[in-house]
Amino acid sequence: MRALRIAFATALAMFAGSVNAQNLIVVSHGQASDPFWSVVKNGVQQAAKDMNVHAEYRAPETFDMVAMAKLIEAAVNQRPDGIIVSIPDASALAPAIGKAVAAGIPVISMNSGSDVSRKLGALLHVGQDEFDAGKAAGEKMKALGGKKAICVNQEVGNVALDLRCKGFTEGFGGAVRVLPTSIDPADVKAKIRAALESDAAVDTVMCLGASTVGEPAVAAVEAAGRNGKVRIGSFDLSANYLKAVSAGTAAFAIDQQQYLQGYLPVVFLANYKRYGLIPGGNVPSGPNLITKEKAAQVVELSAKGIR
């Protein structure tokens, strides 16, 4: 009799699990091998574990909107219980996202696309307002005494990054030149160093990614012999960049808490599917300014892939 009760309880638990089981697909423009996006993926995986759902992370091999649109369309064809997308280029991705909405698949956007998310039919957006975050960074650099800056953009054409530079330019108030680079650290370091050596008036370097640009920027300033004369700020976090902030060789980092950008949409979609529950508006995950006083506190979590 006891064995029968155990078997019945096990079967009931399996049935309940199958009722709650959900399949979610995440399509981002950032590869999970990128240190920034690996944190997003960590958030996705932890939320899937916490909510007892299956969530698959997908991204094109490079920043490629055609390839990303095809990944979204492929996800729609699989008819998942929900799709999570980043929207770095609304015009390129709108048709694919529209197919998901038309098929009745709930969509949540994250990271980029806060300004277009609702227009494209997404339930909400989890991320930060990139223009406002850039403006805050510009105002901070201005307050630190900056007069002439370069804004280093490793993905020109990525609307979110372009907005960061635009916001920074408005907040900074001084002269700002956008410096396009690739995501290759050696290329970034070489181009920043060349920019510093060709114009001694440049006293500010604004980076749009800590691991891809912030770390090479610290190395470039040192190689150019401009330590203490050039202020460095960066969006996002990496353990090595935070060490530079803690040491005073970089001024600050802007934390958009990308772990939450991966984690929260999975939680929201799981609860939406099960209970019809959803927040009433966008959820801002940042910006959160990390200065020297705070940097040491988050280095360990950054190394663990959480911050």
Task: Encode pLDDT of 171-212 as tens digits.
Answer: 999 999 999 999 899 999 999 999 999 999 999 999 999 999
Sequence-separated (6 or more) residues with CB below 8 Å from residue 50: 267
pLDDT for 116 equals: 93
pLDDT for 93 equals: 98
Of 7-16, 46-55, 220-229, minimum mean pLDDT range: 7-16
β strands within the chain, DSSP E = 23-27, 54-58, 82-85, 107-111, 125-127, 148-153, 175-180, 204-207, 231-235, 252-255, 283-284, 288-290
pLDDT, greater one: 25 or 303: 25
Alpha carbon 151 to its chain's center: 18
Structural domain spans, the chain: 2-128+257-276, 130-255
* Over residues 247-261, mean pLDDT: 96
The C-alpha torsion from 108 through 44 and 86 to 189, rounded to 10°, is 160
From the number of C-beta atoms within 10 Å of its C-beta (0-12, 13-18, 19+), residue 213 rates as buried
Identify the helix (H) or strand (E) that includes residue 62: none
Q: Do domains 2-128+257-276 and 130-255 have the same CATH topology?
A: yes
| Helix pair 130-143, 159-172: axis angle to 10 deg | 30
Residue 55 one-letter amino acid: A
Residue 75 reports pLDDT greater than 70: yes
CATH topology of domain 130-255: Rossmann fold (3.40.50)
Residue 20 reports pLDDT greater than 60: no
* Over residues 32-51, mean pLDDT: 93
Of 21-30, 39-48, 187-196, minimum mean pLDDT range: 21-30
CA–CA gap between residue 268 and residue 300 (Å, rounded)? 28
Pairing, β 82-85 against β 125-127: unpaired
pLDDT for 63 equals: 87
Which listed CATH number (3.30.43.10, 3.40.50.2300, 3.30.160.270, 1.20.140.10) goes with 2-128+257-276?
3.40.50.2300
**pLDDT digit string, tens, across residues 130-182:** 999 999 999 999 999 999 999 999 988 888 899 999 999 999 999 999 999 99
Alpha carbon 271 to its chain's center: 23
pLDDT for 302 equals: 84
The C-alpha torsion from 216 through 148 and 253 to 85, rounded to 10°, is -80
* Over residues 295-306, mean pLDDT: 85
pLDDT for 11 equals: 39
Q: What is the DSSP string of 213-247?
A: IIHHHHHHHHHTT-TTTSEEEEES--HHHHHHHHH
